[in-house]
């Protein structure tokens, strides 16, 4: 059974000006996302600035999200680490606190061989009982799960059931989909807002989305159109939002999306360093693309 179908938001972590987590604002964002048709909340991922949350904050933010969501949509907790034992600690706690599934990024900086990736995911899988989504984003981690490895992990680990594919390599995604096709061992979610329709056209179930932070209904509608076979509508939406998607990634995520949300009056606060304010020319570009789709 799939964890979710459609568009899950890779939600930001809002901060007060003193850089403490703004839980009241996070609750508002969660409620608004659910009201606007988001199909899942993905908490403490890259967009949630998980790399600069302390271990205790990381656990608290996940628990708060689970409690606030209260079963209305699935909560997928980002609990990955380049240290397998730290990933296990976060994963075990997230399961205790009621997360519906886990998002586990590949080890970053120290990286891993394909054999090491299999062992990494197997050890985490053995520590929990809830479903796991692998997160493959080699542009940020320097580590790429090859299609054969992804399928091996899914067939070896009892609860690794899906992958968030942020490789930007559609040929690799297609090869992985073909390898998993015989037994349906691996659900695929796009990790690229610019490739929602292409990835879903080869069997993807949806997207884990940055765009959903500013356009949740539209992203949901794009993914659902694919699931319903209405690729004409889906393509129209994909093309309409392509310039905005490009602007949301014109600097390092989540800098543009948090800037966009602040421009839209959502008041999600500042970044933790090393994230910093965008270049003025890119802010103007972002404003123009938000205005072009009626979000400003």
Rounded distance between C-alpha atoms, residue 44 and residue 4, angstroms: 18
Give the end-to-end CA distance of the chain in Å, rounded to a whole number.
38
Q: Which helix (H) or strand (E) holds 190?
A: strand 187-190
Query: Is 109 annotated in the active site?
Result: no
Measured CA angle at 232 (ends 33, 35), to 5 deg:
10
At a CB cut-off of 8 Å and minimum separation 6, what does 239 contact?
A: none
Please tell me which residue in 59, 121, 135, 258 is annotated as part of the active site.
Answer: 135
Please tell me which residue in 164, 189, 241, 258 is annotated as part of the active site.
Answer: 164
At a CB cut-off of 8 Å and minimum separation 6, what does 53 contact?
A: 13, 21, 44, 61
Phi–psi pair at 29, nearest 5 degrees: -65, -45
Rounded distance between C-alpha atoms, residue 206 and residue 37, angstroms: 13
- What is the Cα 102 distance to its own chain's centre? 11
Query: Is 135 annotated in the active site?
Result: yes
Whether residue 254 has a cis bond before it, omega within 30° of 0:
yes
The helices-and-strands tally (H runs, E runs) of the chain is 12, 8
Q: Which residues are known catalytic residues?
A: 135, 164
């Amino acid at each position: 059974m799939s964890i979710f179908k459609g568009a899950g938001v890779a939600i930001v972590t809002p901060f007060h000006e003193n850089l403490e987590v703004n839980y009241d604002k996070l609750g508002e964002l969660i409620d608004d996302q659910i009201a606007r048709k988001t199909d899942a909340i993905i908490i403490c991922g890259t967009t949630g600035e998980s790399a600069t949350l302390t271990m205790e904050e990381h656990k608290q933010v996940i628990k708060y999200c689970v409690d606030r969501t209260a079963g209305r949509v699935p909560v997928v907790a980002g609990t990955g680490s380049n240290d397998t034992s730290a990933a296990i600690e976060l994963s075990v706690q997230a399961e205790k606190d009621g997360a519906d599934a886990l998002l586990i990024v590949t080890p970053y900086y120290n990286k891993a061989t394909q054999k090491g990736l299999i062992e990494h995911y197997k050890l985490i899988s053995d520590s929990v009982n809830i479903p796991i989504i692998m997160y493959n984003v080699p542009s940020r981690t320097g580590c790429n799960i090859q299609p054969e490895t992804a399928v091996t992990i899914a067939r070896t680990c009892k609860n690794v059931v899906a992958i968030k594919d942020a490789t930007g390599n559609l040929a690799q995604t297609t090869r992985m989909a073909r390898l998993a096709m015989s037994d349906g061992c691996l659900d695929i979610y796009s990790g690229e807002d610019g490739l929602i329709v292409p990835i879903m056209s080869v069997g993807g179930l949806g997207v884990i989305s940055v765009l959903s932070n500013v356009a949740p209904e539209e992203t949901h509608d794009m993914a659902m159109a694919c699931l319903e076979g209405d690729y004409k509508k889906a393509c129209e939406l994909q093309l309409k939002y392509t310039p905005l998607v490009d602007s949301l990634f014109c600097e390092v995520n989540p800098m543009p999306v948090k800037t966009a949300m602040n421009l839209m009056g959502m008041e999600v606060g500042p970044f933790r360093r090393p994230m910093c304010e965008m270049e003025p020319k890119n802010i103007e570009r972002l404003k123009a693309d938000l205005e072009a789709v009626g979000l400003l």
